[in-house]
A = this chain, B = another copy of it.
Amino acid sequence: MNKETVEWIQSIDKISNSHVEEAKRYIDGLTKPIGSLGLLEDIAARLSGMKKQRFPKISPPGVLVFASDHGVVEEGVSAFPKEVTAQMVYNFLNGGAAINVFARQIGAHFSIIDVGVASDMEHEQLVSRKVDYGTRNFVQEDAMTEEQARQAILVGMEATQAIIDQGAKALILGEMGIGNTTAASAIVSVVTGCSVEQAVGTGTGISQDAKVHKQKVILKAIRERQPNLEDGLDIVKKVGGFEIAAIAGAILKAAERRIPIIIDGFICTSAALIACLLQPNAKEYMFASHLSQEPGHEAALQFLQLKPLLDLKLRLGEGTGAALAYPIIEAAARMLSEMATFESAGVSKG
């Protein structure tokens, strides 16, 4: 990254504790027993601290789906052929995927970004920011060059800026990339220190034998690539993916703009680890949406000290878990701005 970008990342601020405390006091005066809305009260106070507003608005949200291919697929780590990445991008563009359905339900702005699909794609609605035709096979060589990693991070930043300019007041991040649970498992294992066995699951649905093979592939990659566990850029370059780097960039831009970020499942959380290595303050703008069926997700969330809002046994990605959790966060914001106080409603206190 150039000096300007590095300085910009360093400038990302924590949330405002004085706004958090003020919101908590205000919430205690709303017409309900103190604390009775549980986690919604914490969410609302944090939103207030992020936006530095008494009545933060988070609607409409914006959904960004970053798509990319992975060279490591040639090691036979996925249940689906590589072509599915591009096929699913067309499905997103035609509105038929799960994330389209859930994004429509919550009235979200929606954008799909090609940051590294392995084939040429054309569609009016597609944001084409291809860094390369997929990453390299990171068992053999680095997944990407340092310049490509920077470029992918910038793609994420720009897409976030664009959707905020369209009016998005909260950010839902998703991804599509056959093979990307392999990259995410490598990142989670490197950053959190959990074993590769703990970090690896069945992805889109591989067999137990294939899972053991996937673990061996990741172990070999980490041994060969030797990523620096404190350097987010080095990790994403060596064992990451373009969509993971882009999501890390999107998180940093949202944090800088004081926009709440709803983290989806395993892949997205691996990108959150990268973002937090680059700027720990970014964590304060994150909500963890759900606990994925991928076993490494729990270790990643614990590392970030985030607790998931939902546990619906999901393992799809695309941003679906984050879109499903969004209404809870919106409800918290509405609680702040729309509920009556004991005083305004003339209700006796306990």
Within 8 A of B (CB), among A314-350: 314-316, 320, 324, 327-328, 330-331, 334-335, 338-340, 344-350
* Among candidates B98, B101, B348, residue contacting A80 with C-beta atoms closer than 8 Å: B348
Within 8 A of B (CB), among A116-171: none
**Would you call A40 and B312 a contact (CB within 8 A)?**
yes
Contacts A88-B347, A338-B101 hold; do A36 and B204 have CB atoms under 8 A apart? yes
Please name all residues of chain B whose beta carbon is closer than 8 Å to the beta carbon of A346 when the two chains form the complex. Answer: 87, 90
Please name all residues of chain B whose beta carbon is closer than 8 Å to the beta carbon of A36 when the two chains form the complex. Answer: 204-205, 314-316
Contacts A36-B315, A101-B339, A104-B338 hold; do A96 and B31 have CB atoms under 8 A apart? yes
Please name all residues of chain B whose beta carbon is closer than 8 Å to the beta carbon of A31 when the two chains form the complex. Answer: 88, 91, 96-98
Q: Type the 1/0 row for A100-114, where 1 means its CB is closer than 8 Å to any CB of B.
A: 111011100000000
**Would you call A38 and B83 a contact (CB within 8 A)?**
no
CB closest residue in chain B, given A33: B204
Please name all residues of chain B whose beta carbon is closer than 8 Å to the beta carbon of A87 when the two chains form the complex. Answer: 345-348
CB closest residue in chain B, given A81: B348
**Would you call A33 and B205 a contact (CB within 8 A)?**
yes
Q: Type the 1/0 row for A6-35, where 1 means its CB is closer than 8 Å to any CB of B.
A: 000000000000000000000000111111
Nearest chain B CB to A311 CB, angstrom units: 7
**Would you call A335 and B39 a contact (CB within 8 A)?**
no
Q: Does A79 contact B (CB under 8 A)?
A: yes
Report A's interface with B, CB cutoff 8 A. Answer: 30-40, 78-81, 83-84, 87-88, 90-91, 94, 96-98, 100-102, 104-106, 204-205, 293, 309-316, 320, 324, 327-328, 330-331, 334-335, 338-340, 344-350
Q: Which of A37, A320, A328 has the most CB of B within 10 A?
A: A37
Nearest chain B CB to A86 CB, angstrom units: 10
**Would you call B324 and A38 a contact (CB within 8 A)?**
no
**Would you call A91 and B345 a contact (CB within 8 A)?**
yes
Contacts A37-B314, A39-B313, A205-B34 hold; do A335 and B80 have CB atoms under 8 A apart? no
Q: Which of A36, A81, A310, A346 has the most CB of B within 10 A?
A: A36
> Whole-angstrom distance between the alpha carbons of A349 and B205 in the complex?
11
Please name all residues of chain B whose beta carbon is closer than 8 Å to the beta carbon of A315 when the two chains form the complex. Answer: 33, 35-36, 38
> Whole-angstrom distance between the alpha carbons of A327 and B87 in the complex?
28
Please name all residues of chain B whose beta carbon is closer than 8 Å to the beta carbon of A30 when the two chains form the complex. Answer: 98
6 pairs of A and B residues whose beta carbons are closest in the complex = A96-B340, A38-B313, A79-B350, A327-B327, A36-B316, A33-B204
**Would you call B39 and A94 a contact (CB within 8 A)?**
no
A-B contact list, 6 entries, CB within 8 Å: A38-B315, A100-B338, A101-B338, A105-B331, A205-B350, A324-B331
